[in-house]
Structure 1
């Protein structure tokens, strides 16, 4: 079984009662809303990752202001030629504020739209679980950064 580790950083941007989200496009074409962010490049600081990824996916320059916490997920799934993958994702979540730029959609990336959504409407959106994790951390602000 192949072990795969992915470390990523994400922004929870709430402004005027709205949450900034990017729409992720899965390999099968399924589209679900997610937090702006993504995988760290080798040697990259997570702070720099979230700034880079948010700009790529939304057009905004963001400033991380608080480390909200960490989330760890593990999944098993099939890989080509019958192999199995043991995937472990470590997700670093920051509260961030928009400091510049203009809202725009990513082209030729893993997302195809960016938009602000009223907080009460988020639960009705087709979304990845990370959105709920990020909002939970944003609401409870656990001292040790553990959402459980």
Structure 2
């Protein structure tokens, strides 16, 4: 089995009750909303990655105001074992102007009302990142919800 490791960094930028998102074509070509961010380049620090990626995908410059957590996701597709390690930072817009990425992995960027996010076609990392932002677990990892048969145990 082939192994594929991808390390990336993403930003949760919330302003006036809205979340900054970028739009990317999904695996089947259907557009889906993603957090601004992306893969680290060899030798790059994740802190620098998130700042670079937010600027590339949205036109904004950010100040990283905190590390919300690290998400690890693993999936096997065909004969490839994919493992994604994703640093999720909180960011504050400090400059730049909203624009769209040209010739990149995203084609559109926009502020979305937080209450509208559940109705958007989005990748699961958006929900994970928002939970990290809301819950702010001290250890930087979300607790898994209990299994249905464990809910009634005391």
8 A contact 1:23–1:32 mirrored in 2: yes
User: Any runs of at least 4 consecutive aligned residues in structure 1 with deviations exceeding 3 A, and if so which?
Assistant: none
SS at match of 2:22: strand
Give 5+ residue unaligned stretches, structure 2.
144-154
> Does residue 9 of the first structure (1) align with residue 16 of the second (2)?
no
Q: TM-score, normalised by structure 2?
A: 0.91
In 2: Cα distance, 1:102 partner to 1:96 partner:
15
In 2: Cα distance, 1:28 partner to 1:120 partner:
26
In 2: Cα distance, 1:121 partner to 1:27 partner:
23
Give 5+ residue unaligned stretches, structure 1.
79-83
Which of the pair has more CA radius of gyration? Answer: 2
Q: TM-score, normalised by structure 1?
A: 0.94
8 A contact 1:70–1:147 mirrored in 2: no
In 2: Cα distance, 1:21 partner to 1:102 partner:
14
SS at match of 1:111: coil
Superposition deviation, residue 27 in structure 1: 4.6
Moved more, 2-11 or 20-29: 20-29
- Residue in 2 aligned with 1:81? none
- Residue in 2 aligned with 1:23? 23
1:72-126 CA-partner distances (Å, limit 9, x unpaired): 1001113xxxxx1000000000000000000001111111100000000000000
Q: State which of 97, 105, 112 in structure 2 corresponds to 1:110.
A: 105
SS at match of 1:9: strand
Q: State which of 67, 91, 96 in structure 1 corresponds to 2:91.
A: 96
Greater RCO, CA 8 A, separation 6+: 1
Query: CA RMSD, aligned part only?
Result: 0.8
Superposition deviation, residue 147 in structure 1: 1.4
- Residue in 2 aligned with 1:147? 142
Alignment of 1:1-148 (within 5 A): 1-78=1-78, 84-148=79-143
Q: What is the count of residue pairs matched by the alignment? A: 143
